[in-house]
Chain A
Amino acid sequence: QKEVEQDPGPLSVPEGAIVSLNCTYSNSAFQYFMWYRQYSRKGPELLMYTYSSGNKEDGRFTAQVDKSSKYISLFIRDSQPSDSATYLCAFGQYNFNKFYFGSGTKLNVKP
């Protein structure tokens, strides 16, 4: 079983839609949960970072973590064409030096 599973998409939505991106994981030792956004020909940039279950909101973005189900989500409200990118989930552990990334979900927001 892979440690991280993420649907590759592509996911195509109209401008203004609410987008839901998800990852599941199998390692219960993961304590840090991150979402990165990657535009074409650029490196991943951090969107959200949390270490607790529940919701964390930042503008149009909400990260949700459910440790009991080993499931994390990223919600994008009022999606914009500029949100078109690949979204990567990522996981880390306290005092452990490796990070684990999902394979990314490609999102296309149509004007």
Chain B
Amino acid sequence: EAQVTQNPRYLITVTGKKLTVTCSQNMNHEYMSWYRQDPGLGLRQIYYSMNVEVTDKGDVPEGYKVSRKEKRNFPLILESPSPNQTSLYFCASSLGSGQPQHFGDGTRLSIL
């Protein structure tokens, strides 16, 4: 089954404690992206990757890092999380830029 898998689905943690949210897709997609979804603000792009070792900033990259060492994986790293990063996060993938994206089921992060 074609899917985008995120882990963990839920996480409550404290300010400053580094965390990683993993994302994996099994569709051999080149393009992957991370979004955060906040009430009234919709989906905002954090980072995206066109292919292995190729990443670039989206609209809200501050406080986040990503890496793309393998085609299927695109982890999101919060080196020093802060409460304003409390949000619902989605990973997505597609065949290429401009193509419709497939989304994971989301990771709800709470930073206390």
Contacts and interface: CB of A to CB of B under 8 A. Distances in A.
Contacts of B75: none
Contacts of B33: 99
Chain A contact residues, majority secondary structure: strand
Give chain A's interface residue range (CB within 8 Å of chain B).
Answer: 20 to 34
A43 B45 contact: no
A43 B42 contact: no
Give chain B's interface residue range (CB within 8 Å of chain A).
Answer: 20 to 34
15 contacts: A6-B42, A31-B98, A34-B100, A41-B106, A44-B43, A46-B102, A93-B98, A95-B98, A96-B98, A98-B58, A99-B33, A101-B35, A101-B42, A101-B43, A103-B40
Interface of B: 4, 31, 33, 35, 40-45, 48, 50, 56, 58-59, 90, 92, 97-98, 100-106
Given A101-B42, A103-B41, 17 more contacts: A4-B42, A8-B40, A41-B105, A43-B4, A43-B90, A43-B92, A43-B106, A44-B43, A46-B101, A46-B102, A88-B42, A93-B98, A95-B98, A97-B48, A99-B101, A102-B42, A103-B40
